[in-house]
């Protein structure tokens, strides 16, 4: 299965760890003052780490790829706009100096840390746009729980198909008759032992199962 959007979560967790380490490392360094929000750079690290961690959790645990991509795009655009504002207010200061705490913690030069940050932002920006524009290309194939069973009305052969294709018309792969993909209607029968009603899908006809009421083994049959 191809979880393209989940890579955002793993990358943002790494960014969160880097920011937290950089925030603690900042205590022993002299850093430039943030001129956009007028706050210490250490506090800004903390805000970015919290934001990155929150979006990472959504990316890792949500099943909605478009929601993941939208949050990543929103966060990345805000970071890019902040960097533009920072450069506007500090035309004589190198943006790499604002990453000196993170760079020092990992043994990098500020310039290397700056280029790495640019690459990460570019990946998140382009990747989130790609998922939003071509989401179905990046969606994972259906698992067993996403497959729907039905019997062909013409030949009675059982079919399995992706639940996202409900309502589509296709030729039956066995008899070639045109059929409409739909969820099977539930059949009803009475238990032979306790006479309680049981509902089951048509494809289960002939299968043996314990009655949910009396727990006696019965064979599912088509109602008369």
pLDDT at 135: 66
Q: Would you say 3 and 138 are in contact if contact means Cβ atoms under 8 Å apart?
A: no
Place of tokens 């030069």: 109
Question: Which tokens hold the place of 45?
Answer: 């690290």
Per-residue confidence (pLDDT) for residue 43, from 0 to 100: 85
Of 4 and 189, the structure prediction assigns the larger pLDDT to 189
Task: Read off the tokens for 118.
Answer: 């640019």
Q: What is the pLDDT of residues 133-172, one digit of tens each?
A: 876 555 555 554 567 777 776 776 778 888 778 888 888 8
Q: DSSP character for 196?
A: -
Q: What is the pLDDT of residue 23?
A: 84
Asked if pLDDT for residue 22 goes beyond 70, the answer is yes
d(C-alpha 44, C-alpha 63), whole Å: 30
Q: Is the pLDDT of residue 207 over 80?
A: yes
pLDDT top residue among 128 and 91: 128
Q: Which two tokens stand for residue 23?
A: 């925030």
**Chain-centroid distance, C-alpha 22:** 28
Q: Which residue has the tokens 């100096």?
A: 97
Residue 74 in this model has a pLDDT that exceeds 50:
yes
Task: Report the candidate in 142, 147, 143, 220 with the shortest Cα–Cα distance to residue 186.
Answer: 220
pLDDT, residue 120, reads 93
Q: Tokens standing for 138?
A: 């990046």
pLDDT band at 1 (very low <50, low <70, confident <90, very high): very low
Higher pLDDT, 157 or 176: 176
Structural domain boundaries of the chain? Answer: 6-138, 142-184, 185-224
Predicted model pTM: 0.58
The mean predicted confidence, pLDDT, of the chain is 81
Asked if 182 and 170 touch (Cβ cutoff 8 Å), the reply is no
Distance CA 154, CA 179 (A): 8
Q: How would you classify residue 181: left for phi > 0, otherwise alpha for psi between -120 and 50, otherwise beta?
A: beta
Burial 86-96 (b: 16+ CB within 10 A, else e): beeebeeeebb
Question: What is the model's pLDDT at position 30?
Answer: 67
Q: Which residue has the tokens 């049981």?
A: 198
The whole-angstrom separation of Cα 8 and Cα 55 is 9
> Which range is most confident: 16-30, 71-85, 139-153?
71-85
> Other C-beta atoms within 10 Å of 101: how many?
25
Percent of residues, the chain, with pLDDT higher than 90: 21
For position 78, what pLDDT does the model report?
A: 93
Query: In this predicted structure, what is the pLDDT of residue 44?
Result: 85
Which residue is associated with the tokens 């190198």?
Answer: 94
Residue 40: pLDDT band with limits 50, 70, 90: confident
Which residues partner with 210 through β-bridges?
Answer: 217
Lowest mean pLDDT: which of 106-110, 114-118, 202-206?
A: 202-206
């Amino acid at each position: 299965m191809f979880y393209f959007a989940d890579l955002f979560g793993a990358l943002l967790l790494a960014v969160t760890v880097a920011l937290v380490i950089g925030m603690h490392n900042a205590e022993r360094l002299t850093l430039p003052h943030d001129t956009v929000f007028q706050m210490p750079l250490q506090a800004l690290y903390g805000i970015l780490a919290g934001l990155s961690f929150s979006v990472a959790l959504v990316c890792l645990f949500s099943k909605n790829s478009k929601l993941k991509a939208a949050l990543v795009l929103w966060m990345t655009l805000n970071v890019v706009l902040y960097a533009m504002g920072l450069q506007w207010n500090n035309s004589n200061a190198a943006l790499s100096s604002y990453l000196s705490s993170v760079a020092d913690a990992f043994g990098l030069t500020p310039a290397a840390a700056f280029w790495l940050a640019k690459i990460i932002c570019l990946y998140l920006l382009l990747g989130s746009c790609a998922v939003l524009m071509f989401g179905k290309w990046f969606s994972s194939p259906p698992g067993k729980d996403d497959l729907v069973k039905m019997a062909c009305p013409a030949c009675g052969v059982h079919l399995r198909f992706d639940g996202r294709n409900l309502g589509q018309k296709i030729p039956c792969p066995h008899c070639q008759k045109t059929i409409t993909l739909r969820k099977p209607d539930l059949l009803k029968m009475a238990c032979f032992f306790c006479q309680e009603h049981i509902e089951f899908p048509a494809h289960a006809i002939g299968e043996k199962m314990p009655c949910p009421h009396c727990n006696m083994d019965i064979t599912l049959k088509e109602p008369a």
